[in-house]
Amino acid sequence: MLAPWPATPMAYLFGDGDMARSISPLLQGLLAIAILVAAIVSALVIVGAWRQRSALALADTPIDDRPAIAWIGIGVGVSTAVLVGLIVWSTVTMATISRPSQTAAFTIAITAHRWWWEATYRSGDTDQNFSTANEIHIPVGAPVRFTLASADLIHSFWVPALGGKTDVIPGQTNVTWLKADHAGSYRGQCSEYCGAQHAHMAFTIVADPPAAFESWRAAQAKPAAIAQDKGALDGEAVFQQRCSKCHAIRGSRADGDRGPDLTHIMSRARLAAGAIPNNAGWLSAWIADPQHIKPGSLMPKLPLSGRELADVRDYLLTLK
């Protein structure tokens, strides 16, 4: 079983899937050329300093006859040729990645929020629609289309190992696609500075084998389990009162949309866009004081008694 949230640093020089396969050689090429240019320039500076004395001896030669002038022409010529070559290479790469190599299997609608990612899966049958947050599953080997909208300001959707960045701009829907050739998890990150918790606006793309993906999708589409024991039932009442303006739980009356949909919260490996692991302890810590974990987060610290906190946590623990 692969870790659903791979650690940083994020790999981008060697990618997986069609889009990354087009981008990686360009990145590697640019890096190699940059290193080469830095090495050549450094060498020339050193040689130039070394030869300063012979240059002084040229003081009487008219400027146009000095050998250095020819080198300026050579330098401009070589740089121009290399830069034009790179422009052509970049343009061809951008044209290649703008469209998936096969038609996309389906679309995931992403809405970027300060500071988390909402992912909505729609299908022909509206009963099967669902929304989740930060942990985005796709089937391995199939290109998936992503529409990108913003609920507030500019963010940027980037999964370095799978492909290029696409900005998420208010008032506009951008489109990109991703494909993973191997099952596994690929870490993503908001890459446009968007305020206090920008660094904690991570997400993960989990590429599942097709059968595992279908069962994940079917499980997510189901409404929430109905609370059974007393603590969880009391917790549901607390939730309706204190949390349901911001959070939805399908199958209950909670239908807020300012925070993540919590219908299957316990199926996710991490909370708060990757900031903390998802288990009973961290869940309590988050509900008790989200501002301590993610200062500035749009979930306020709510005054709950110890009992209410335990009950609401027990209720969330049933949402598998």
Query: Of 184-203, which residues contact Cu ion (CB under 5 A)?
Result: 190, 194, 201
Which partner, Cu ion, ligand HEC, none, binds residue 302 by CB below 5 to 8 Å per kind?
A: ligand HEC
- Contact set with ligand HEC (CB under 6 A): 115-116, 133-134, 197, 239, 242-243, 245-247, 258-260, 262, 265, 268, 271-273, 286-287, 294, 297-300, 302, 312, 316
Q: If binding is defined by CB under 5 A, does position 155 make contact with Cu ion?
A: yes
Tell me whether residue 187 or residue 247 sits nearer to ligand HEC (CB atom). Answer: 247
Which CB sits closer to ligand HEC, 22 or 252?
Answer: 252
Check residue 113 for interaction with Cu ion (CB under 5 A).
no
Cis peptide before 115 (omega within 30 of 0): yes
Minimum distance of ligand HEC from residue 271's CB (angstroms): 4
> Residue 118 CB, nearest distance to ligand HEC (Å)?
10
Closest Cα to residue 22, out of 81, 86, 101? Answer: 101
**What minimum distance in Å lies between the beta carbon of 112 and Cu ion?**
6
Nearest approach, Cβ of 260 to ligand HEC (angstroms)? 4
Q: Between residues 22 and 189, which has the closer beta carbon with respect to ligand HEC?
A: 189
26 binds, among ligand HEC, Cu ion, none (CB under 5 to 8 A by kind): none
300 binds, among Cu ion, ligand HEC, none (CB under 5 to 8 A by kind): ligand HEC
Contacting residues toward Cu ion, per CB under 5 A: 155, 190, 194, 201
